[in-house]
Structure 1
Amino acid sequence: MNKVLVLGGTRFFGKKLVEALLRQGADVTIATRGKTADSFGNAVKRITVDRTDSVAFESAIGSAEWDVVYDNICFTPQEAEEACAIFAGRVQRYILTSSLSVYEFGPERRSESDFNPYMYPIQLEEQSEHSYKEGKRCAEAVLLQKASFPVCTVRFPIVLGADDYTKRLHFHVEHVRQDKPIGIPYLEAKLSFISSDEAAEFLAWLKDNAVEGPVNACSTGELSLREIVTTVEEAVGQQAHVISDTSELDDGHKSPFGTADSWFMDTTKAQQHGFAFRNVTDWFVPLVRDIAAGRA
């Protein structure tokens, strides 16, 4: 499958996905709003469109057909429903970037069956009424219940990398270095993570592997908030100022990872299909060290 459309592909793991597809020899088209410059030159084709404008989106797609469509920017059931209509008869496979957010917090490792999008009620209210969690749940439900083409929904946890534009890990390094308070309600909470490199690698691998339905994708092993803080302390050479009661703490000092309970996934399905995930500490520790040293 070599003719590929990537909805969103100019930054973070979307950019790395395009680079991986090009290395595989794919014929890649990227569709973005054109607000972020890319470095792909003549290696890719481009469609400039705001996918939230359904009329403009359908017009921009035209009658083109693709073997695979990657959708990294679908956040609502409305956008998912529009995709079902626009790409009907024009795509052999559709891969949606979804999220760990579809699952509830808890001490147990979450498997795909813990949220069943095939049975989830489809809600098409206005976008403003949907949280990120609900938007992803409903987007999965719409695509997997309504699409006339095969769909895979990839549930990623927190994605980290030197290229993370949200600077979530940088936040912790800088707060420790500057002795600023970090609000973390529960230090023993265990979380799943994946690097931007591995996220892109997994998505590119899916192009030629017929995985359907929801699939979890995260690095092997979990990290507790305590382990994260300890790793940052060791890299910075300074003790963190952690505050567990965040009720009166300014939002700018609350950890982006500060969940009230554990939140991690089981990747048996992906592994049974043949994908081998890296151990989370193999890339997480070097990444923290690079950030602390100013190399990332």
Structure 2
Amino acid sequence: MKVLFIGGTGLISQAVSPLAVEQGIELYLFNRGQRGEFVPDGAKVIQGDIRNPAEAAEVLRDYEFDVVVDWIAFTPEHVQTDIDLFTGKTKQYIFISSASAYQKPQRNYIITEETPLENPYWEYSRNKIACEQLLMEAHKNSGFPVTIVRPSHTYGNTAIPAALTSGQHPWTLIDRIRRGLPLVIHGDGTSLWTLTHNSDFAKGFVGLLGHPEAIGEAIHITSDEVLNWNQIYAAIGQAAGVEPKVVHISTDFITAFSPPGTADGLIGDQAVSSVFDNRKIKRLVPDFQAAVPFSEGIKQSIAWFEAHPDQCTVDAEWSALLDHLIEKHGVEAKPLSFYS
């Protein structure tokens, strides 16, 4: 297969791209060439900017692909650009949506692909829903060969996943743990969550490339391991070598005392228990099985950061926000084992 990844070097795709090459796929990455360290040997880079449709159309004018995957489409405008660019030039177009698009709060804690899409709390998720609607309309009206893939909370070596964390400076969480500074866990820490290692996601995803039964379908790909947030933070502390001190604070309180928009992802995603039924991806890709438990995956992440000290940056503003929340809440931090 000849496959184009738009992006292809991000948190999730940096595991998918090398697996695709390993499995014999002729892989092209279309991006701005700013993350060359995550381009696998054997992949071909086409340099350009998908946010400049005229430039992208010119650069890609003479190409056709069996599959096109857009890893960085977030709004209907982005998706419409892809429909215009790739209609008649690919046999499958895969849109990376988000499991946060599922109904919040959902009526049943087990999420299937038939769970309604509705998220009044997070604009990011509403944009993903609008993208899905536009693509499925194009499929219905003109046969545009779309497949929708919904990752949930997926992480890899370059991420330290948590609910309240700095997206740009994830090492800040480990820095606080090792300096004995408390963390904040929303609620009482017993809501359920699913974390998926990007190498596991990659196995399911690569199996969908060129899969005729995936056309016109939406599929989520997650681990079957389900943890509560206390267990997640305990595993992070164990991997960091220090038991975390934590303060449990209600989501409403966190929202009230955080800058506008800061807690949207918490309210619209992590605060709600999410457990996924993965029978659909397993039917389409029978070999798919998530194999990396979080306790091992987070060790790999911390080891990667320690081997890349330039990435161990600290977000002073985010750290100050945690201190502010803890001070306002007025409850003393306790070792996480206290709540076990």
Please give the TM-score of this superposition, normalised by the length of structure 1.
0.83
Query: Structure 1 unaligned runs (5+)?
Result: 118-129
The CA distance in 2 between the partners of 1:134 and 1:250, in whole Å, is 21
Equivalent residue of 1:175, what SS? helix
Distance 1:207 1:290, change over 3 A: closer
What's the offset of the Cα at 1:287?
Answer: 2.6
1:159 matched to 2:154: yes
Equivalent residue of 1:184, what SS? strand
Where in structure 2 are the equivalents of 1:144-293 lying within 5 Å?
A: 144-147=136-139, 148-164=143-159, 166=167, 170-186=171-187, 187-210=189-212, 211-212=214-215, 213-235=217-239, 236-245=241-250, 246=254, 247-248=256-257, 259-273=270-284, 274-278=286-290, 282-291=292-301
Amino acid at match of 1:78: E
Please give the per-residue CA displacement for 1:146-197, whole angstroms capped at 9, x wherever unaligned.
Answer: 1433211111011111123847874543332222232222211211221111
Please give the per-residue CA displacement for 1:52-110, whole angstroms capped at 9, x wherever unaligned.
Answer: 22222222221321001111111111111121121111100111111111112346121
Please give the TM-score of this superposition, normalised by the length of structure 2.
0.73
Equivalent residue of 2:36, what SS? coil
Amino acid at match of 1:268: R
Distance 1:99 1:41, change over 3 A: closer
Contact 2:176 2:183 in 1 (8 A): yes
What's the offset of the Cα at 1:3?
Answer: 0.7
Q: Residue 132 of structure 1: which of 120, 124, 147 is its match?
A: 124
Amino acid at match of 1:67: D
Please give the per-residue CA displacement for 1:237-286, whole angstroms capped at 9, x wherever unaligned.
Answer: 324222314344689x98x878332133221211122243225xx43101
The CA distance in 2 between the partners of 1:33 and 1:234, in whole Å, is 38
- Match in the other structure for 2:69: 70
CA RMSD of aligned residues (A): 3.0
Equivalent residue of 2:207, what SS? helix
What's the offset of the Cα at 1:5?
Answer: 0.5
What's the offset of the Cα at 1:291?
Answer: 4.8
Query: Structure 2 unaligned runs (5+)?
Result: 161-166, 309-340
- Match in the other structure for 1:126: none
The CA distance in 2 between the partners of 1:169 and 1:110, in whole Å, is 28
What's the offset of the Cα at 1:208?
Answer: 4.2
Please give the per-residue CA displacement for 1:192-232, whole angstroms capped at 9, x wherever unaligned.
Answer: 22111112222211114332311011011211101112223
Equivalent residue of 2:110, what SS? coil
What's the offset of the Cα at 1:37?
Answer: 2.0
What's the offset of the Cα at 1:44?
Answer: 2.7
Distance 1:116 1:242, change over 3 A: closer
Amino acid at match of 1:244: I
Equivalent residue of 1:278, what SS? coil
Contact 1:94 1:150 in 2 (8 A): yes
The CA distance in 1 between the partners of 2:288 and 2:43, in whole Å, is 29
Equivalent residue of 1:112, what SS? coil
- Match in the other structure for 1:60: 59
Distance 1:168 1:198, change over 3 A: farther
Contact 1:160 1:169 in 2 (8 A): no
Distance 1:73 1:155, change over 3 A: same
Contact 1:154 1:215 in 2 (8 A): yes
Distance 1:27 1:233, change over 3 A: closer
Contact 1:66 1:90 in 2 (8 A): yes
- Match in the other structure for 1:123: none
